[in-house]
Amino acid sequence: MVSSKRKLQVCLLLAMVPVLAFAAPVDDRLPPGSTIHRLVEISLVRSAQLRDAEIVWQAAQMDVEEAKGALWPKVDFNANSQAATIGKGNPNGNGTTGRAGATVSYTVFDADRSKNQIAVKEYAEQSARAKFWLAREKTAFDTTSAYLQMVKYQKLIRLYTDNVQRMDALSKKMAEIVRVVPGRRSELTQVTARFIQAQESLAATISKKREYQAELIKLIGPAEAAREFDEQLPPLQPLNVESGKVLALKIHPALLAAEAERLSLAANVDVLKADQYPQMDLQLSKTTGKDVLGYPDPFRLYLGVKWNAFKGFSGRSAEAAALDRANAAHERYDQTVIEMEFNLDTAWADYLTQTDRLPNLQALDSATDQVRVDYYAQWQDAGKRSLLDVLTAESEHLNATVSLVTSELDRSIAAVKTHYEAGGMVAYVMGAID
């Protein structure tokens, strides 16, 4: 069912995941002292999902050892007490009671059933191992994303707080003007409305930050998540899309898990095929004591044959069903490859889009800031601008700054997502897979 060459390739790749990830062509891995490195390191230790995946992997390793036990001789002991006699007859019976015995059996032929069962368990163990690495990748990406979102909302909170303070100062100034010129009360109403809007925007932003803080608490604990992070986004470098696809096909844990599952199901087909053949066991047995005639039992060496020759065609049906499952697993692998390539293309396109947008957004932020300052001066000193002009300029500058902050964040997330979608997130953040 599965070529020996393909089996060897998958086994080598799974064994070399740490080496391949460390040798991945990533640019400028994050330094060990960086905030992201430290937070991911904490989350990899704390993650319950990761511990669960590791336990499943360890259990799969024990399943392999259990399956390998079929290759060893089997030793069975049996014993029974002396029988109490009831009624008439020979009190010694046939001499089978009150004796102990042992049987050693070794399978000499099973049409490679045992070897294929071992292969099934080994591929299942390889799949569990790959899923453990996949859990590490997801934990690292979730931690990094939540941290970047926290940085973003800290910036936005500062922006909205400054806006609230400006609207508050403007409303107080307008209240003083209204006391002198009551006819300008409508302007006071306008600035009061903007002040309330600014407070609501600030409250909504604080609430959104709490959501990501709660996410970080689950990943790194309350002590680390409660701190204020540096608002300067770290320099995150993306992985080129073509390099990412080549890397993913080699080491992506999701692809390795899907391929190992396919090979496990294919090996199970061979197990079901072997069930249709006889099994031959070489057996050696010995019983202690003497029989009813006073003779000790000799050692007995014989060949036993077991063959379930007819099961109502259920064997062939089970084999056909297993073959269909193996084929479906192959389709899932192909679909996983397609999704991986699509996700990499999307992340790379997002990174390029945000990179192209940033210069324009920076220029827009600078221009709207200058307009805001000029309009305020013209309204306050020369009376050339209305209050509505000032409020509009303030709003446009705030929106431009928020767009700039959001674009910077989206660019950073797209950069780390290229590593995640290629299966090299832990290698990029941690510098090596520990």
Name the residue among 417, 398, 405 with its Cα closest to residue 161. Answer: 398
**Residue among 2, 20, 32, 77 at smallest CA distance from 429:** 32
Q: What are the domain boundaries of the chain?
A: 4-85+94-430
Per residue in 280-332, pLDDT (tens digit) is 999 999 888 777 677 788 899 989 898 887 777 777 888 888 888 889 989 99
Alpha carbon 86 to its chain centroid, in Å, reads 68
* Res 201: pLDDT: 94
Angle separating helix axes 48-68 and 113-180, nearest 10 degrees? 180
Residue 88, classified by CB atoms within 10 Å of its CB into exposed (0-12), middle (13-18) or buried (19+), is: exposed
The answer, yes or no, to whether residue 363 has pLDDT greater than 70, is yes
Residue 90 has pLDDT above 70, yes or no: no
Domain 4-85+94-430 has CATH 1.20.1600.10: yes
Instruction: Say whether pLDDT at 142 is over 50.
Output: yes
Q: Give the pLDDT confidence score for residue 4 in this predicted structure.
A: 52
Question: Alpha helix (H) ranges present in 181-252?
Answer: 185-220, 222-225, 241-251
